[in-house]
Amino acid sequence: MGLPWFSKNPLWRDTVAFVFALLLSLSAGCGDRSEAEKLAKSGVVTANNLADYYDSLARDTLDIWEMQAFYDALPADGLTAAQSRQLQMSTAQESLLQLRISALNRRARLARRLASSYSALLQLSSYNVSAEVKGAATGLGEELKVDFPSMPGSSLVASSLFGNIIGDLARLEQSRDIKKVAKVLLDAVTKLKAMFENEEEAYQSIERDRGSLFNDVTKYLIEHKLVIAWPLARKVPDSLGLEWASPSTPVEDPRTIAALIQVAKVRTLRLAMLSSAAAGSTEQSLASLLDGHRRILAGEPLSPDQILDAVQKAQAYLDEIAKLRGIKKDADKK
């Protein structure tokens, strides 16, 4: 038995060589797709966490607005009615707080749009175009076989070969699309991270403002005996099973008042510390996402654990902040 006819035919030999070369180059495309899927999933959670962080800052600003209005409306000694009014927040100052909330909302919206883009990338990378197109192209090949029968002596079936080539070309196109968009998103995340770093001091200042203001208000309420402050030191008698002597009456002793104000200060500043930690983890998650993009573009394997770890940390801090706010709301209800 001699060599098959196509091994002697230069045109057919070149075609077969081209198909093998194509299949070899496309084998990397399949890897790209699964790595892109991992990147897209990480991108969705990172961007959503970023949006949550901005939402949290917007809520803090609303808290500040509300509490500042309360604090500035508190009666101060020796002021005339006109001076008391001047102490209250002006319309211009309220507009500044409104502008801040709008700016934070715009950032949250941008982060959510980024999450939508990563969702679209996830859809594109998880779509099995090769199988879809290969099936359709094989069907077409079957139909065309009537007019274009297989080469004599060839073991390759024309229709399935046609299906394979079309399927692989589509996969190559998909891989190119993924890389093109991953590059655009890399650019967007790079700028977003730079902006986050640039604004981080302002984010943390908002948290410090909230903590300091809540502390000032708490101090006023305790000093003016408007609240029962004993629960601030609840842990000590609770741990020993002791009862308060007068749990329903405000604290009268000046030294105890001063001590309880210090406890309140620690509690109010805890929120600021949590938010600062959330900012750090959010920034870290953006940095890890950028690293993921660079790996995809360089054709290196991606490990999303690092990104997800940072996001989980940031989310845990935000959850803790929400929990502290929830405690405040529950206390309000009571």
Q: Does 205 bind another protein (CB under 8 A)?
A: yes
The 3-class SS string of the chain reads CCCCHHHHCHHHHHHHHHHHHHHHHHHHHHHHHHHHHHHHHHHHHHHHHHHHHHHHHHHHHHHHHHHHHHHHCCCCCCCCHHHHHHHCCCHHHHHHHHHHHHHHHHHHHHHHHHHHHHHHHHHHHHCCHHHHHHHHHHHHHHHHCCCCCCCCCCCCCHHHHHHHHHHHHHHHHHHHHHHHHHHHHHHHHHHHHHHHHHHHHHHHHHHHHHHHHHHHHHHHHHHCCCCCCHHHHCHHHHHHCCCCCCCCCCCCCHHHHHHHHHHHHHHHHHHHHHHHHHHHHHHHHHHHHHHHHHHHHCCCCCCCHHHHHHHHHHHHHHHHHHHHHHHHHHHHHC
Among positions 166, 264, 279, 290, the unique one binding another protein when judged by CB under 8 A: 166
184 versus 266: smaller Cβ distance to another protein: 184
Q: Name residues contacting another protein, limited to 104-133 (CB under 8 A).
A: 104, 106-107, 109-110, 113-114, 116-117, 120-121, 123-124, 127, 129, 132-133
Least distance (Å) from another protein to the CB of residue 136? 4
Each residue 299-328 as x (binds another protein by CB under 8 A) or -, in order, gives ------------------------------
Q: Interface with another protein includes 195 (CB under 8 A)? A: yes
Q: Does 150 bind another protein (CB under 8 A)?
A: no
Residues that bind another protein (CB under 8 A): 71, 76-80, 83, 86-87, 90, 92-93, 96-97, 99-100, 103-104, 106-107, 109-110, 113-114, 116-117, 120-121, 123-124, 127, 129, 132-133, 135-137, 139-140, 143-144, 146, 166, 170, 173-174, 177, 180-181, 184-185, 187-188, 191-192, 195, 198-199, 201-202, 205-206, 208-209, 212-213, 215-216, 220
